[in-house]
A and B are shown apart, each in its own frame.
Chain A
């Protein structure tokens, strides 16, 4: 594996990437000049390319591999106002043992919960919690006034620090779309830098930062491309499409576009940035299209949990049904997977 993953390289100076790339003094004007200088997106070509990648037929052993890979890339998510510690515990149980009838079924990459549910998720995971190690399940927490992001910076930072202190391994932050759409790139940049700082733990290590662009509110592909660059320059370890609370959430063209940015960044700096499509991916068929897109755009080495994730809740059950179909030779039903 030649890609440097984010954890090892940049827990010290989050804004250093922007300084390296932009050169000279880092100001709102220089940032704007750089982002506005990024070429526009060929929307028709992008959608055509995404549609083309979605037509691949993946069968038998390839399909089996794909399904297991998908499970290993899932951030199993519950982000409801009605979440309870009990709901989080059952989610964690499902993350550890997705299919109780099949011990060969892999575990998911992470569980994704609201910040106040992190202690319950950590307690429920027990020894299965990754906590900085390469194996095990991570706990991801959404922070910074998710999903709207409408709160003062102080509140957003407190939200983040709380979740990290409670044991979150990954922080999913939302950008201030209002500021981005009004062209205040510097403000969005500073917020990401500040949240990245807040992800730092007392021992010097740092929680992974996923930056949610909420592409459904950015209106154009050009904006998605700019926001992706902005998030990476500011120090994001992952760029994530959506909160899942806004329609449209993740779409294949948007994910393809973000993967292209990540690929370009890797060519430029050798650094691997992760991508996480979230929201609206419910069937194995859709998820396999995403795998194809990742492999064809960023490369097959991106198909690992440190570089690609699915944010999903109902996707796991559909993948399990497909796995059971492959194993038994007949169609399975919702009675044979757990309800969450």
Chain B
């Protein structure tokens, strides 16, 4: 008996669910040789809008968890990624046309980075925060707090590594994320969504859109309910216009980065999406 393979439908990941695009559109994902690989959902501006609503709804809960708990949840994602290595290696090898060794290296590096960022969750505040010196009987303390909803244009040249490198640091501080995956290599991003859905990350904390960044990015940049915009993968877009439009609503913006070093792990990427809160507190003078 021959068996018919069951082809997977690659859908969006919004608010903890896997909807098709509201527009009903899909596009073909192909190998570097042009061979058909899969149909992926082509997100519309309304999908982006829905994703922002989901991210905003999830923000208070995610930002409100303790730093330690957030670290544990992020670490668990790395554990689940480890268990799905073979699937990611296969998807990357097929869609990027890479050798198994190269694909494996990319998956390993992505998991390692995720672990590295998970570790920062309950540590970055010690580095980015401060007890400020004051001339009086007070404490003056600065602490970093999450910025809010962060829209990310993921690096376009890799499947998984760039995506993880852009999304993980934004999550560490307690932000929620709307991310537009690589247009050419969206499969790993959707599979990562499946990992997130079965881990302890609340629905809506990460929302994944696939489709055309050129179409979706302007709507995200001008959206009044997004607090920060990471243009790391927007190098080939009209990113100056995106920055101008983001400035209208005073978003924090990170510029595009290109090459293999795009979104290289750094404390700076975590701190970029935080706001410093400074409080005075009396010293007990008994």
Chain A residues near B (Cβ < 8 Å):
324, 329-336
Contacts and interface: CB of A to CB of B under 8 A. Distances in A.
Interface in B230-248: 245
B56 A331 contact: no
Interface in B62-114: none
Contacts of A331: 49, 52, 219, 222-225
Interface residues of B, number: 10
A-B CB proximity, top 3 nearest: A333-B225, A330-B222, A333-B224
A334 B225 contact: yes
Interface of B: 49, 52, 56, 219, 222-226, 245
A330 B52 CA distance: 13
A336 B250 CA distance: 14
Contacts of B222: 329-331
A334 B245 CA distance: 19
B33 to A, nearest CB: 39
A149 to B, nearest CB: 35
B219 A335 contact: no
A335 B249 CA distance: 11
A332 B222 CA distance: 9
Contacts of A330: 219, 222-224, 245
A334 B148 CA distance: 13
A329 B245 CA distance: 12
Contacts of A329: 222
Contacts of B56: 333-334
A43 to B, nearest CB: 29
Given A330-B223, A331-B225, A333-B52, 9 more contacts: A330-B222, A331-B49, A331-B224, A332-B224, A333-B224, A333-B226, A334-B225, A335-B224, A335-B225
A330 B220 CA distance: 9
A10 B166 CA distance: 68
Find the residue from A324, A330, A332, A336 having the highest chain B CB count within 10 A. Answer: A330
A333 to B, nearest CB: 3
A329 B49 CA distance: 13
Contacts of B224: 324, 330-333, 335-336
A334 B225 CA distance: 7
Nearest to B220: A331
A324 to B, nearest CB: 8
Contacts of B223: 330-331, 333
Contacts of B52: 331, 333
25 contacts: A329-B222, A330-B219, A330-B222, A330-B223, A330-B224, A330-B245, A331-B49, A331-B52, A331-B222, A331-B223, A331-B224, A331-B225, A332-B224, A332-B225, A333-B52, A333-B56, A333-B223, A333-B224, A333-B225, A333-B226, A334-B56, A334-B225, A335-B224, A335-B225, A336-B224
A333 B56 CA distance: 10
Contacts of A324: 224
A324 B225 CA distance: 13
